[in-house]
């Protein structure tokens, strides 16, 4: 379903975390073994949806015969009160899986929804929203999937996906130019280098940087940087970006804007599972 993601292992580990050694004692005590349940997963907020196939996997892991009807597409933006999924099957199994399924959908939908707000804020500017590696350990593939559902483009997934020379690399290497030249000499293509002053731009370009990450620059300085670079390489604005500032940043002419907040600070969506 999601490239590079072991869904079966994720579902098994998450259910094991929730069920412990004794399983769902409440459902076992109060729900007859042969009872059936029909329930609807619905959103209490306007959201951009992500994670429904994972929710289905949780329910099917405990009741292989359950029937699931997905009512909206992944990445769809829907109003509050929208039914997202209808589930019918063994009541004990579905109630045991409920929290794991909801936690996953709430978290991923929260990321997709916040991402969509950022994408909408820069609509028409030509700038492309990127996510970052500011993700919860173990959940990066899922969280970056959710940003795609919200309309963002994935930045590098891992450290081996590309070369990004940042301020600490530059400090240890002795400057922007030697850092970039070392990366290029190692045969590493698509070298991205972070600069936080206009003075660092000419030596970065001279050394062969393939993209410049313009870090913590305000709109005025970003315009100067974009003019100085003059289209020779793509540009990426980063640092201090929020919903109040991103439009002005996008209008400076940068190619990309990377935002850690869309994964790092997204609130969970209000999604529930109700008896139908």
Convert the pLDDT of each residue in 75-128 to its tens digit.
Answer: 999 999 999 999 999 999 999 999 999 999 999 999 999 999 999 999 999 999
- The answer, yes or no, to whether residue 4 has pLDDT greater than 90, is no
Domain residue limits, the chain: 7-113+267-275, 120-264
Q: How confident is the model at residue 231 (pLDDT cuts 50, 70, 90)?
A: very high
Known active-site residue 86: no
Catalytic residue (one of 45, 83, 86, 99): 99
Fold that domain 120-264 belongs to in CATH: TIM Barrel (3.20.20)
Helices of type H across 130-200: 140-149, 167-173, 176-185
Q: Which CATH number fits domain 7-113+267-275: 3.90.660.20, 3.90.1170.20, 3.90.1150.10, 3.40.50.10440?
A: 3.90.1170.20
**Token duo for residue 183:** 């990366």
**Burial level of 133, CB count in 10 A (0-12/13-18/19+)?**
middle
Known active-site residue 215: yes
**Token duo for residue 218:** 């305000």
Known active-site residue 194: yes
State percent of the chain over pLDDT 90.
95
Q: How large is the angle between the packed helices 7-19 and 91-121, nearest 10 degrees?
A: 120
Please provide residue 77's backbone torsions phi and psi, each rounded to the nearest 5 degrees: -100, 120
Known active-site residue 156: no
In the predicted model, what is the mean pLDDT of residues 197-206?
Answer: 97
Q: What is the pTM of this model?
A: 0.95
DSSP-based three-state secondary structure for 128: strand
Catalytic residue (one of 98, 143, 194, 210): 194
Catalytic residue (one of 24, 98, 215, 236): 215
User: Taking Cα atoms as reference points, which of 129, 64, 150 lies closest to residue 260?
Assistant: 129
- The answer, yes or no, to whether residue 189 has pLDDT greater than 80, is no
Model pLDDT for residues 15-37, shown as the tens digit of each residue? 999 999 999 999 999 999 999 99
Known active-site residue 144: no
């Amino acid at each position: 379903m999601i490239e590079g993601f072991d869904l079966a292992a994720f579902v098994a580990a998450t259910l094991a975390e929730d069920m412990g050694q004794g399983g769902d004692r409440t459902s076992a005590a109060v729900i007859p073994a042969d009872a059936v349940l029909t329930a609807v997963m619905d959103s209490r907020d306007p959201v951009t949806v992500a994670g429904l196939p994972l929710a289905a996997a949780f329910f099917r892991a405990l009741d292989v015969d359950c029937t699931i009807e997905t009512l909206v597409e992944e990445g769809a933006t829907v109003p509050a009160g929208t039914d997202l999924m209808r589930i019918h099957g063994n009541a004990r199994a579905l109630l045991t899986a409920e929290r794991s399924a909801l936690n996953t959908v709430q978290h991923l939908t929260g990321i997709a929804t916040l991402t969509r707000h950022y994408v909408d804020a820069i609509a028409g500017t030509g700038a492309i929203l990127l996510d970052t590696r500011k993700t919860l350990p173990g959940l990066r593939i899922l969280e970056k999937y959710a940003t795609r559902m919200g309309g963002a483009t994935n930045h590098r997934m891992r450290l081996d996906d590309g070369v990004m020379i940042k301020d600490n690399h530059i400090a240890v290497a002795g400057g922007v130019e030697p850092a970039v030249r070392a990366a290029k000499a190692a045969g590493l293509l698509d070298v991205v280098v972070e600069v936080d002053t206009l003075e660092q731009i000419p030596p970065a370009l001279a050394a062969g940087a393939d993209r410049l990450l313009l870090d913590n620059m305000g709109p005025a300085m970003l315009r100067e940087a974009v003019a100085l670079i003059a289209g020779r390489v793509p540009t990426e604005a980063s640092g201090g970006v929020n919903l109040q500032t991103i439009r002005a940043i996008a209008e400076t002419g940068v190619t990309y804007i990377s935002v850690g907040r869309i994964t790092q600070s997204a609130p969970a969506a209000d999604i529930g599972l109700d008896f139908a």
